[in-house]
Structures are given as structure tokens and as C-alpha cells.
Amino acid sequence: MAYSVPKQGVWKMASRGGPEGENTNIFRLMSWNIDGLDERNTEERTGAACDTIMKLAPDVVFLQEVVPTTHTLLKARLSSKYTIHAANSIGYYTCTLVKNSSESCITTSLVQPFSNTKMGRNLLIVNASYKNMYLSLMNTHLESTGPAAAERLLQFQQALGEMQIQDPDRVVFFGGDTNLRDKEVASMRGLPQGIVDQWEACGADKKTKFTWDTTTNDNLDWQSGSFKPKLRFDRLFQRPAAGHATNLSISSFKLIGKERLPGCQRFPSDHYGIVCDFDILPGEV
């Protein structure tokens, strides 16, 4: 994958340039809470998210906090390039986008509710074959706020358990807006064997750690005193496929949505999105 260096000297991920310019040995996955609950500047902010998706051309996109209004905009802009699977059609919900391709086939799509949720949260699971890989794609928005830590941790554990029981020939991804705090994950004393946090696998760069950062992103009108939190809410986990199957190895982890929009002078969302590139490792022929 190519990268371009702008004049300011900051590394930016380059467009894949459409089907003819894509590196077929790279798999790209994006996850982004696009904050459809914020009714201000909805069209410009959602349009910017669509522009980013079209420019970077990820193979799979996990979106959170989609609402019917933004869902309509997403379908209008992206349905020619992506199949959109939604976890709901009312309130706010997740959507998983899989690129339309002669190499892709969606086998199942289901919504698995969290039994303990008080906020209507669930796990959207899309199973697909894509570029000679079998994939299980698990998109979520776990319970929000500090007081919901117990519910959130149980939901996280439920999702990790679901990852473990998938067919061993599948590459399994679980991610989205997890709302997790580092201390909550630490309380588990490690992830289950074989499941890897992709930010950590790519070097745990502090520059890409905080996806919800009120010190740099002022979309949210923070009114809780002078302390401004920054947290790694948005995460991506992978369980590799069995050794003989086509697999994926992470090669880059970047944040997106960090530039103000020209019209409203706000960011596309109060969350920065994450985009990961993976090298495709062929299995046995």
C-alpha cells in the first residue's frame, strides 16, 4: 500500500484508487462511530464520512451510531460500492458494509442481542467469503458510560466467547465502539488465547491510541469541569484462522476523521475512526 506525505510532514493513508489501482494483497478494515445522534451538521458530517470511505475504499466497514437519516445518506452514496447490513432501522444502531465484488459472497447476517443491555445494544455478525478468505465480522457498540462498566464487561466477554466458537477456518474480527476503559480490560487479566488487540499488534503507537479525545476534538460540548478525558473507546480484535487457511497479518493502524470540515468547522464525528491494513497470507493450495 502506498502512502503520501503532505507538506506538513504528517503521514496520511493514500486512496487505493478504485479497483484497478488496488493492491489485491491488502485487506483493509475501517471502524467508525459516525455520531448520528448529533443532529447538527448531519449532512456535511455524514457526507465527509462517505467521502473518506470512497477515497480509502476499505473492504469492510464497521459503523456505529447510525440513525435513519444518516442511513439514508449512506445508502445514497455508498450502495453502488457496498452491501450494507444494518442491525436495526429505528433509534441508533450499527451497520456493516462489505465491498461489492465478484470475490465476495455474504453467507449469513444476524443480530445477537446482549441479554443484559439497558441501551438496546447488540452484536451484528456478518459471515462472508472474500478474496479466498472466510470471514466472521462482528460489529458492536457496547454499553456506554462509566456506571455501566459491569454490563459492558459482560458484553465484551460474550463477544469474545462468540469469536472463539467460530469455525477455525474463519478469520474473525470483532470491533467497534466498545466504550472500554483500559482498567476494565486489565481486570480480565488478558484476552483469551488466540485473540489479539490489533492496536497492540501494530506497535501500540500512542499517537493512534485515543479515538475519543476531548482535548483535540470539540464536537462534544464538554461541560464536566476543566478535566477533558481521552480514551481508547474504538477497538478491533482478531482471531486468526487455522494455519492452513488464508490469513491476515496487520501492517498498519491509522486514525481518520481528524480534520475539521470546511463548512461547519467541526469534525465528522466526536470519535476518530480507525482503519487497518492487513497483508493477505495465502493458505495451502
61 phi, psi to nearest 5 deg: -130, 130
Q: Is 177 a catalytic residue?
A: yes
Q: What is the DSSP letter of 191?
A: P
Task: Give the DSSP H or E segment for 151.
Answer: helix 149-164
219 phi, psi to nearest 5 deg: -60, -40
Yes or no: say if 53 and 38 are a contact pair by the CB < 8 Å rule: no
Q: In whole angstroms, what separates CA 196 from the centre of its chain?
A: 15
Could you give the CA distance from residue 12 to residue 15 in angstroms, rounded to a whole number?
10
Q: What is the DSSP letter of 185?
A: H
Annotated catalytic residue, options 177, 213, 270, 277: 177
Task: Give the DSSP H or E segment for 122.
Answer: strand 122-130
CA atoms within 13 A on the CB side of 162: 26
Please give the positions annotated as active site: 177
